[in-house]
Amino acid sequence: MTTNVTYLADQEAAERDEETMLQLVWRQFRKHKMAVLGMTVLLLLIVGVVVGPIVTPYDIERSSLRERYQPPSLVHPFGTDDLGRDMLTRILAGGRISLNIGFMSMVVALAIGVTVGSVAGFYGGKVDNILMRFTDIMLTLPRLFLLIIMVLLLRGINWPYLQESGGIVAIILVLGVLSWMSIARLVRGAFLSLRQMEFVEAARSLGLSNRRIIVRHILPNAVTPVIVAATLGMARAIISESGLSFLGFGVQPPTPTWGNMLSNAQQEMLRGHMWMAIFPGLMIFITVIAINYIGDGLRDALDPRHVG
Amino acid sequence: MTRYIIRRLLQLIPIMFLISMIVFVLLQLAPGDPAAALEDNPNLTAEDRARFEERLGLNDPLHIKYLKWLGNTLQGNWGISVATKRPVLDEIGSRLPNTLRLMITAQVITLLIAIPIGIVSAVKQYSLFDHVSTTFAFMGQSIPVFWFGLMLIMIFSMTLKTADGGPLLPGGGMYDLRLYDEATAPFADRLRHMILPVAMLAMLGVGTYTRYTRGSMLEVLRQDYLRTARAKGQKERRVVLIHALKNAAIPIITILALDLPSVFGGAVFTETIFSWPGMGRLFIDAANRSDYDLLMGIVLMNAMLILIFNLIADVLYAVLDPRVRFD
């Protein structure tokens, strides 16, 4: 029995040597059943929101007074809304925007967070102190309050690109600008320990510029925790977008998102049109669980302690 | 320790200063000002408007505006709400207790649910209970809290009925407006009105605290001193609930403090959905009316509460964990 186990372990180790990093991560990731399920659900959702609005027989924005408030049926699986628009069509079109906002705002947050974190961690001292105090302050204030204040601020800026399609770009910027703090802290932590390592010393003695050392030598080693944080951050951004839109400070109708489809949901629900409140929220819930499980699986797969 | 607390309090001053500066600048850049509200008035001439702007100091440069505002604020003059014409501090003062009542109850309920579940999960790691509770905790962290509130209303205020056909639980307000007023509402009625909003707000943290307690307990349960306790012949129950929990619970204090901003955020949704007259709804109303003095006051009050609570948590942490030194 014992020899058998040893043998298997050796074989695994031998095979592992020939695997690329990506294959290794994927093999670990596959072991996390919920993460694989989450990945499947997310892929289906992406296909749905891309293909759905194209193949649907209904229009996203055209209203039809005769078809208002239809409960779910075979013709309208998720019912119709207060203007007689097919809810399923709008949920798929809205999902495209919600997922986009989640992804793009994470890109913005990554750009700021990685920059602030690597500069603070690499240079240390006064720079680090100032940047991290600023990060602390941003974390002290309730995020929702800052989000809303930033939305008010951007509403005053008359840059058309910012406000078109219900202000999608404005929301992406606001969410990105207020979500970089945890990433900055992670990157800074990684940099603080990595900058003492010998390979950095070696790069320095070769006369490489600070910028090159940061970008090409240290950053690739700090990427693992950032991937996980970015995944979980995307889930959080989707929830934040829906919350902002629910309160009326997000993407403005008629452009649909899962959040602003819920902005009248409370009144509609109280009038008995419950499907209008159930489905958009359910979509957010399913998407966020799926992404969170993917993040969980990635953490397990990327953490070197779990390998083997 | 007194010196430590005093030093920490002094450190709060520059932080508050910075926070106020950031929020002040952001709000100054936001569109709409008190003079714009007068624009609809046809009797107002351009000179009137100029005089008005002059009196309010609307044409001053930014740093002068900030210094004026700072001077006023330090003297307890936080400005006037444009919408209600009442002083900002009065507005906040009348709403803050409602928010705190909601938040404190919700946090207590959160801990009462999350800590026992976390302990059992850790003690019986990888059991069915552990798997189920971990899955639920994960779902709790993924649910949009405002949608959860809507679903609570749908189930408990609309679908389920009492014997006489009324809703099982009230879906809004602090007491029954048809029967009572602020002074006469009985305790039982107020309690009934708290159930759903508290459940919604508690949901925000249950998942996080369950996972956290579980993780913290798992770490402590491996420690040698617990083996010692068992070797002395202590009952398992006592080992877990007294020896282990005492140390596992300390980090939760930090999480409670760090989590406070998100609870304030959650309260905004709870108060909006359940028509709860608290500070969160006041903030949303103020944002919708470009009532910037009021917005500023609410953010400042929140920041102060959060910073003071953080300080209390730090001190408490050091008191409970003798390894942490005051220096």
How many C-beta atoms surround the C-beta of residue A154 within 10 A? 21
Please answer yes or no on whether A277 and B154 come within 8 Å at the CB atom: yes
Question: Quick one: pLDDT at residue B206?
Answer: 92
- What b/e string do you get for A190-203 counting C-beta neighbours within 10 Å, with b at 16 or more? bbeebbeeeebeeb
Q: Is the pLDDT of residue B23 over 80?
A: yes
Hey, what are A283's tokens? 């979509």
Interface contact A180, partner B, CB < 8 A: no
Taking the Cβ of residue B202 and every Cβ of chain A, the question of whether any pair is shorter than 8 Å is answered with no
- The CA-CA-CA angle for residues B204, B209, B214, to 5°, reads 150
Model confidence at A1, in pLDDT bands (50, 70, 90)? very low
Amino acid identity for residue A124 in this structure = G
- Average confidence score pLDDT of chain A: 84
Cα separation, A148 vs A9, whole angstroms? 54
Our CA-based measurement puts residue B236 at a distance from the nearest CA of chain A, in whole angstroms, of: 31
Which chain A residues contact residue B302 at CB under 8 A? 141-142, 145
Residue B155: other Cβ atoms inside 10 A: 13
A18 or B171: which leads in pLDDT = B171
Least confident of A66-70, A207-211, B193-197, B239-243: A66-70
Q: Chain A contacts of B303, Cβ < 8 Å?
A: 140-141
Angle between helical axes of B187-221 and B128-142 (0-180°, round to 10): 120
Question: Would you tell me the crossing angle of helices A275-302 and B128-142 to the nearest 10 degrees?
Answer: 120
**B233: alpha, beta or left, given left = phi > 0 and alpha = psi -120 to 50?**
left
Helix then strand then coil, % of chain B, to nearest 5: 75, 0, 25
Whole-prediction pTM: 0.86
pLDDT tens figures, B141-151 = 899 999 999 99
- Mean pLDDT within B208-216: 91
Whole-number pLDDT of residue A120: 93
Calculate mean pLDDT across residues B96-125.
Answer: 93
Task: Count other C-beta atoms under 10 Å from residue B216's C-beta.
Answer: 23
Q: Is B215 on the interface with A (CB under 8 A)?
A: no
Q: Spell out the residues 6+ positions from residue B41 whose beta carbon is closer than 8 angstroms to its own.
A: none
pLDDT at B185 over 80: no
Taking residues A20-27, what's their average pLDDT? 80
Asked if B147 and A242 come within 8 Å (Cβ–Cβ), the reply is: yes
CATH number at residue B205: 1.10.3720.10
Mean pLDDT of B304-310: 88
Handedness of CA A276, A282, A285, A288 (dihedral sign): negative
Q: Minimal CA–CA distance to A180: which of A225, A223, A117? A: A117
| Residues of A in Cβ contact (< 8 Å) with B272 | 247
Longest dimension (CA), chain A: 76
CB B258 within 8 A of CB B269: no
State phi, psi for B82 to the nearest 5 degrees. Answer: -65, -35
Residues of A whose CB is below 8 A from B307: 140
> What pLDDT score does B38 carry?
56
- Write the single-letter amino acid at B166: G
**Between A78 and A186, residue with greater pLDDT:** A186
The percent of residues above 70 in pLDDT, for chain A, comes to: 92
Which residues touch A218 (CB under 8 Å, ≥6 apart)?
A118, A122, A190, A191, A194, A195, A200
Residues A94 and A184: their CA atoms lie apart, in Å, by 30
Bridge partner list, B80: B87
Evaluate if residue A220 carries a pLDDT over 90.
no
Average pLDDT rounded to a whole number, residues A169-178: 92
User: Both tokens of residue B127?
Assistant: 């059991």
**Using 50, 70 and 90 to split pLDDT, how confident is the model at A308?**
very low
Record: contact B144-A243, CB cut-off 8 A: yes
Contacts of B284 in chain A (CB under 8 A): 148, 247
pLDDT (0 to 100) of residue B33: 61
- Per mean pLDDT, which range of A188-197, A279-288, B119-128 is the poorest? A188-197
Other CB atoms within a 10 A radius of the CB of residue B174 amount to 21
pLDDT in tens, A56-106: 777 777 777 777 777 787 777 777 777 778 888 888 888 999 999 999 999
Alpha-helical regions (H) of A18-159:
21-31, 33-55, 87-123, 125-140, 143-155
What pLDDT digit, counting tens, does each position of A109-168 carry? 999 999 999 999 999 889 998 998 888 888 888 889 999 999 988 887 777 777 777 788
Q: Determine contact: B142 vs chain A, CB below 8 A.
A: yes
- Residue among A27, A87, A29 at smallest CA distance from A227: A29
Position A5 scores a pLDDT of 55
Residue of B nearest to A232 (CA): B142
Q: Which residue has the higher pLDDT, B132 or A272?
A: B132
The CATH label, of 3.40.50.300, 3.30.2420.10, 2.60.40.2140, 1.10.3720.10, for the domain at A28-56+74-302 is: 1.10.3720.10
Residues listed for chain A: 308
Residue B263 has pLDDT above 50, yes or no: yes
Is B153's CB within 8 Å of A266's CB?
A: yes
In this prediction, residue A163 carries a pLDDT of: 72
Mutate to test the interface with B, among A34, A138, A140 (most CBs of B within 10 A): A140
* Mean local confidence (pLDDT), A260-277: 85
CA angle, residues A244, A249, A250, in degrees to nearest 5: 65
Per-residue pLDDT at B165 exceeds 90:
no
Contact B139 A239 (CB under 8 A): no
Residue of B nearest to A136 (CA): B15
Residue B58 inside a domain? The answer is no
d(CA A235, CA A251): 17
Q: Which of A53, A47, A48 is nearest to A86 (CA)?
A: A53
Per the CB < 8 Å rule, is A142 touching B298? no
> How confident is the model over A233-240, as a mean pLDDT?
93
How far lies B311's CA from each of A16, B5, B156, B199, B304, in Å? 49, 8, 39, 28, 11
Query: Domain count of chain B?
Result: 1
Our CA dihedral for B248, B252, B253, B255, rounded to 10 degrees, sits at 150
Average confidence (pLDDT) over A218-241: 90
Task: Report residue A307's pLDDT band, with 50, 70 and 90 as the boundaries.
Answer: very low
Per-residue model confidence (pLDDT) at position B127: 92
Distance of CA B288 to the CA centre of its chain: 21
- The fraction of chain A above a pLDDT of 90, given in percent, is 32
pLDDT at A161: 75
Confidence (pLDDT) at B326 = 61
* Per-residue model confidence (pLDDT) at position B248: 86
B16 touches chain A (CB under 8 A): no
Instruction: Look at residues B252, B210, B244 and name the one whose alpha carbon lies nearest to residue B227.
Output: B244
From CA A259, how far away is CA B147, in angstroms rounded? 10
* Helices first, then strands: H and E counts in chain B: 13, 0
Min Cα–Cα distance to chain A from B245, Å: 26
Q: Name which of B147, B271, B282, B314 to mutate to probe chain A: the one with the most chain A Cβ atoms within 10 A of its Cβ.
A: B147
Do A258 and A280 contact (CB within 8 A), yes or no? yes
Confirm or reject contact between A277 and chain B (CB < 8 A). yes
Question: How does residue A9 score in pLDDT terms, banded at 50, 70 and 90?
Answer: low
d(CA A287, CA A282): 9
Q: Examine residue B18 and state whether it is found in any structural domain, yes or no.
A: no
Mean pLDDT of the region B257-263: 86
pLDDT at A292 over 90: yes
Q: What are phi and psi of A146, to 5 degrees?
A: -65, -40
Structural domain includes residue B34? no
DSSP code of residue A231: H
Is cis: bond before A254, omega within 30 of 0?
Answer: yes
Are A261 and A94 contacting, i.e. CB atoms less than 8 angstroms apart?
yes
Question: HSE of B307 in the Cβ direction (CA atoms, 13 Å)?
Answer: 23
Per-residue pLDDT at B101: 92
Which tops the pLDDT comparison, A42 or A5? Answer: A42
- Residue B185's domain comprises 88-320
Q: Does A270 touch chain B (CB under 8 A)?
A: yes
Mean local confidence (pLDDT), A243-255 = 89
Structure tokens at B269: 């949704």
Rg (CA), chain B: 25
Q: How confident is the model at residue B169 (pLDDT cuts 50, 70, 90)?
A: confident
Q: What pLDDT does B37 receive?
A: 56
A149 interfaces chain B, CB cutoff of 8 Å: yes
Task: Suggest the residue from B142, B153, B273 to mutate for an interface test with chain A (most A CBs closer than 10 A).
Answer: B142
Residue B103 lies in a domain: yes
Note whether residue B36 is domain-resident. Answer: no
Q: Is residue B6 included in any domain, yes or no? A: no
Q: Is the pLDDT of residue B202 over 90?
A: yes
